């Protein structure tokens, strides 16, 4: 199969769809790989690194899309890319369709095969392609929260871990999945007083067993969320419903319960955000203030640490990429149930119900 790795064009996105190591593996399996010039620079890979493992380097994004049967990316195609996508072309990337009707309609119109990393799902409900980026984003949420609590960043001016004789900051993490767990772990390591909320009692039991003593668990309900955030300095939103829009768990009215300079970090922004006041921001302009509460909602948080993120993502995606390239998308999905769940749009039809439900669009039952 002919595989293309275009350069990411989203603002401040420095990741690339595949490392030279991953490209070499695909070439060793008998496939041809075309990488756009400078695509890997942001992640620390030169064009020569790709050439040395047998890839071809093309100058423009147009050339990469034109020649390729399978496109491997990191982020969803942007408007500039919509018309480059061909009918029947396989696009293997993060899509987060439920947060963008425009993108959904564009991919329907393209009649391409859209395989979304974020909805590939194992039998145990884990999300193998989303997990590494969730781990990165969860850990970054703690780092960014600590930074934006500083007074000159418009935060309230508290040190997460405090010092002897002075209380640490209070941090609330809503969601006990991969993002929430990693965030709570980092916040605890920095010495914060952490509360993590989740709707699963079983998950709370697990967290209670593995977390240090400065992490408390709480059942997630509207009442308990209000109680928890009332005296919080930092709140991390870490709730995910695979393929669907994230639920709004903190409304605009609830902001009045927060103190001036409280920081909200919404990691669920890619799926619409779990705070009503969330709007996507960029690494160049990451924050805004509503009702004296600082919001951080960068839509591609792991893009800020591309050397880590690109390698972690390739480690997860390469196995499925090999199956798609070796067998074709249809046979690969027939023989691999987790990969099959990654199919979101096929030849103009939405085949993932959560995506259709997000916008009230027609859903077509998947029939391979």
**What tens digit of pLDDT does each residue of 93-115 get?**
999 999 899 999 999 999 999 99
CATH architecture, range 2-120+305-359: 3-Layer(aba) Sandwich (3.40)
Catalytic residue among 96, 233, 295, 352: 96
Q: What's the confidence (pLDDT) of residue 245?
A: 85
pLDDT tens, 66-83? 999 999 999 999 999 999
**Residue 244: band (very low, low, confident or very high) from pLDDT cuts 50, 70, 90:** confident
Q: What's the confidence (pLDDT) of residue 271?
A: 87
Residue with tokens 């209380």: 167
pLDDT at 368 exceeding the cut of 90: no
Average pLDDT value over all residues in the chain:
96
With 0-12 / 13-18 / 19 or more C-beta atoms within 10 angstroms meaning exposed / middle / buried, residue 27 is middle
- 41 as an active site residue: the answer is no
Q: What is the pTM of this model?
A: 0.91
- 124 as an active site residue: the answer is no
Percent over 90 (pLDDT), the chain:
95
CATH 3.40.50.720-classified regions of the chain: 2-120+305-359, 134-304
Calculate mean pLDDT across residues 309-336.
98
pLDDT tens, 18-57? 999 999 999 999 999 999 999 999 999 999 999 999 999 9
Q: Nearest CA to 173 among 163, 188, 184, 162?
A: 184
Domain 134-304: which CATH number of 3.40.50.720, 3.30.830.10, 3.30.365.10, 3.40.50.2300: 3.40.50.720
Taken as a whole, the chain contains a residue count of 368
3-class secondary structure per residue, 154-221: CCCCCCCCCECCECCCEEEEECCCHHHHHHHHHHHHCCCEEEEEECCHHHHHHHHHHCCCCEEEEECC
How far is 192 from 171, CA to CA, in rounded Å?
A: 7
pLDDT at 243 exceeding the cut of 80: no
How far is 111 from 88, CA to CA, in rounded Å?
A: 6
pLDDT at 270 exceeding the cut of 80: yes
Cβ distance 89 to 66 under 8 Å? no
Catalytic residue among 193, 233, 270, 295: 270
């Amino acid at each position: 199969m002919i595989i293309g790795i275009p350069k990411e064009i989203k603002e401040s996105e420095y990741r690339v769809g595949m490392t030279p190591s991953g490209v070499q593996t695909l070439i060793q399996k008998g496939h041809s790989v075309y990488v756009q010039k400078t695509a890997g620079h942001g992640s620390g890979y030169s064009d020569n690194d790709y050439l040395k493992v047998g890839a071809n380097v093309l100058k423009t994004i147009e050339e990469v899309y034109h020649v390729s049967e399978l496109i491997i990316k990191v982020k969803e195609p942007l408007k500039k890319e919509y018309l480059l996508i061909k009918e029947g072309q396989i696009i293997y990337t993060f899509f987060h369709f439920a947060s963008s009707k425009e993108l959904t309609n564009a991919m329907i119109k393209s009649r391409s095969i859209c395989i979304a990393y974020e909805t590939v799902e194992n039998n145990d409900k884990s999300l193998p392609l989303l997990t590494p980026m969730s781990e990165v984003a969860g850990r970054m949420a703690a780092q960014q929260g600590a930074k934006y609590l500083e007074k000159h960043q418009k935060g309230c001016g508290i040190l997460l871990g405090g010092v002897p004789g002075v209380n640490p900051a209070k941090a609330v993490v809503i969601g006990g999945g991969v993002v929430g767990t990693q965030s709570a772990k980092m916040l605890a390591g920095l010495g914060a007083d952490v509360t993590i909320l989740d709707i699963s009692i079983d998950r709370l039991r697990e967290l209670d067993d593995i977390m240090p003593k400065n992490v408390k668990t709480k059942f997630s309900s509207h009442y308990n969320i209000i109680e928890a955030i009332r005296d919080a300095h930092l709140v991390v939103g870490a709730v995910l419903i695979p393929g669907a829009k994230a639920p709004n768990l903190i409304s605009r009215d609830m902001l009045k319960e927060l103190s001036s300079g409280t920081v909200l970090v919404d990691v669920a922004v890619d799926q619409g955000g779990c705070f009503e006041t969330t709007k996507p921001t960029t690494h160049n302009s990451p924050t805004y203030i509503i009702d004296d509460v600082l919001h951080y909602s960068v839509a591609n948080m792991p893009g800020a640490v591309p050397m880590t993120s690109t390698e972690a993502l390739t480690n997860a995606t390469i196995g499925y990429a090999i199956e798609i390239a070796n067998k074709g998308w249809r046979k690969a999905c027939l023989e691999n149930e987790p990969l099959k769940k990654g199919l979101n749009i096929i030849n103009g039809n939405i085949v993932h119900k959560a995506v259709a439900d997000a916008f009230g669009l027609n859903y077509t039952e998947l029939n391979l």
